[in-house]
Amino acid sequence: MASHAGVSPSTVSYVLSGKRSISDQTRRRVMDSIRALGYRPHAGARALASNRSNVIALVVPLRSGIHVPIVMQMVIGAVTSARAYDHDVLLLTQDEGVDGLERVAGSALVDAILVMDVELHDVRLPVLRSLDRPSVLIGFPADPTGLTCIDWDFEAAGAACAEYLADLGHREIALIGAPPAVYERGTGFAERTKAGFQRAAAERGVHAVVRPCDPDHAREAADDLLRDHPGLTGVAVHNEPAVEPLLAAFRATGRRVPDDLSFIAIAPDDLAERLDLTSISIPAEELGRRSVALLMEKLDGHQPPGATLLPSRLVVRSSTPAA
C-alpha cells in the first residue's frame, strides 16, 4: 500500500494511527490507496500496537422483572454509537456480579465497561471504583461518588405524573410500578420514580399509594387497589408490559379510562400513541448512545461530568380528563 500511495510505510502507519501530523495531500493519497486496494486493518495487530482492543463490555444482567425490549433499545443505541467510534460491544448478560466484572477487567478483552441495571446499594460499586479500566453506569446508586453515571431523570418523571394528576383535581392517586422483584433488589430507576411520585404528591396534599405489579397479575393488582382505595381516580403506570392488561383490568371492574379514571403511562411513544395515553417517554436509545459518548471521553483521557440526567417530557393525550 505504501508503494501504491508513493509514501513510506511509516507514513501509512501515521495516517492510520493519527499519532503524527500528516499533510492533507499525503493523507488523501494514502486514503485513496486504502480504498483502491480494499485494505482493512488487522484487528489483532492493531490491538497489539495500540494496547487497545477497541471493544467495550456492556454488562446487562437479565434478571427477574427486567423488561427486555426497553433494555434492547438501550443496547442498540450503545452498539450504534460504539461503531461510530470504531468500537465493538461485548454483551454480558449473566448475572455474575463482582466476579463477572473482575473476570472481564482482568483480561485483555475490553478497553472499558458499561454497566446497566444499577441498584441503590450495588455490590459491584467498590470494584468499579478500583478498576484500571474506565467505566460508566447507566443508572444511579445511592452514593455515586467516584463514578460516572447517566440515566433518565426517573425521579422527575415520577414527580411529573403526580403533579399533573394533582393539577387535574385528583385527590387520590396511585403509581403502579415494576414487578416486585425489581423493588426487592433496590433497583435505582424504580426507587427514584417512586420517590419522585411520593414527594410531589405530598407537596400537593394528595393521597398517593405505590404498588408493584407483575403484568401476569394485573387484574389482581387492579382489584386490590380499588378495594383498598375506592376513591382512586388517577393512576400512573411505570411498567410497560402491564399497561394494556391494567387498562383491561380496570375496565373489567367498571372503571373505564378516561371516563372514570385518569391514566398516565411512563412508556415508549409508540405504545402511548397507539392507545392514546398521556405519557412520559423513556429515551432508551439516546441513553445508550450518550453513555458510550461518556465512555469514549474517559478512554481519551478526559473526565466527563460525574452525573448526567436526561430530562423527562410529559405528552398529554385523551386518557387524563379532570377529576
- Tell me the H-state helices in 57-187: 68-84, 97-105, 125-130, 154-167, 180-184
| Per-residue pLDDT at 43 | 46
Return the percent helix, strand and coil in the chain, to nearest 5: 45, 15, 35
Helix (H, G, I), strand (E, B) or coil at 150: strand
d(CA 271, CA 274): 5
d(CA 246, CA 226): 12
Helix (H, G, I), strand (E, B) or coil at 21: coil
| Per-residue pLDDT at 269 | 93
CB atoms < 10 A from the CB of 53, how many? Answer: 20
- With a CB cutoff of 8 Å and minimum separation 6, the contacts of 302 are none
| Residue type at position 273 | E
- With a CB cutoff of 8 Å and minimum separation 6, the contacts of 85 are 292, 296
What is the Cβ-side half-sphere exposure of residue 46, based on CA atoms within 13 angstroms?
14
Over the range 234-267, which residues count as b (16 or more CB within 10 Å of their CB) and which as e? bbbbbbbbbbebbbebbeeeebebeeebbbbbbb
pTM of the model: 0.82
| Per-residue pLDDT at 198 | 98
d(CA 145, CA 147): 6
Helix (H, G, I), strand (E, B) or coil at 264: strand
Short-list 37, 32, 29, CA closest to 6: 29
d(CA 92, CA 113): 10
Report in angstroms the alpha-carbon separations of 17 from 146, 231, 298: 31, 67, 19
| Per-residue pLDDT at 250 | 97
Tens of each residue's pLDDT in the chain, 323 residues: 567 667 676 676 666 655 566 677 777 777 777 777 666 554 444 444 446 789 999 999 988 888 889 999 999 999 999 999 999 999 998 888 888 888 888 777 899 999 999 999 999 999 999 988 999 999 999 999 999 999 999 999 999 999 999 999 999 999 999 999 999 999 999 999 999 999 999 999 999 999 999 999 999 999 999 999 999 999 999 999 999 999 999 999 999 999 999 999 999 999 999 999 999 998 999 999 999 999 999 999 999 999 999 998 999 999 999 88
- With a CB cutoff of 8 Å and minimum separation 6, the contacts of 260 are 233, 250, 254
| Per-residue pLDDT at 8 | 73
